[in-house]
Amino acid sequence: MVNEEGVTHSTTTPQGVAMATTTETETITRCARCGRRLRNDSPDGYGPKCRRRVRKATRSTELGQYKEHLVEKAVELLEQGGLIPLRKTSKNVVFLAVSSDGATAYRTAMAACTCPAGLRAAYMCKHRIAAHIISLAA
């Protein structure tokens, strides 16, 4: 297996971007996971490599601890690009979890979530599971 992530991505200088002749520089899409620039539109916000990693993570046995329908919803959330990374601390990544209708957004980390279920801490909500999946894809 080739470690595709090991490829050092060349940091493009502002001048180096000149290869794109169109003026679409304002709409630079970056991978939600690695921050690499995406050439194509991405429905989930990931580049092809990161998408593969995330997909693989969704099949991890570690997720067996969660309710199956919640894992499915977490995967759905990720496929919709509903989990946007906000910042990274040493051991936690904070995400913005956007509801499918785009009306509400919660702050989510693997350890906590500001959605109603998360605040009650009754169970692992789909947002936290999605954050877990991302951490598994790391």
Nearer to Zn ion, 23 or 88 (CB): 88
Residue-wise over 37-70: b if at least 16 C-beta within 10 A, else e? ebeeebebbbbeebbebbbebbeeeebeebeeeb
Identity of the amino acid at 74: A
Residue 125 interacts with Zn ion (CB under 5 A): yes or no:
yes
Q: What is the helix, strand, coil percentage profile of the chain, to 5?
A: 40, 15, 45
Indicate the residue among 82 and 118 with the shorter CB distance to Zn ion. Answer: 118
Which C-beta is closer to Zn ion: that of 18 or that of 32?
Answer: 32
Q: How far is the CB of 16 from Zn ion (least distance, A)?
A: 19
Query: Which of 54, 113, 130, 131 is the binder for Zn ion (CB under 5 A)?
Result: 113
Name the token pair of 104. Answer: 């509400």
Q: Which is nearer to Zn ion, 18 or 100 (CB)?
A: 100
CB of 45 closer than 8 Å to CB of 31: yes
Under rule CB under 5 A, which residues in 45-84 are in contact with Zn ion?
47, 50
Binding positions for Zn ion, rule: CB under 5 A: 31, 33-34, 36, 47, 50, 113, 115, 118, 125, 127
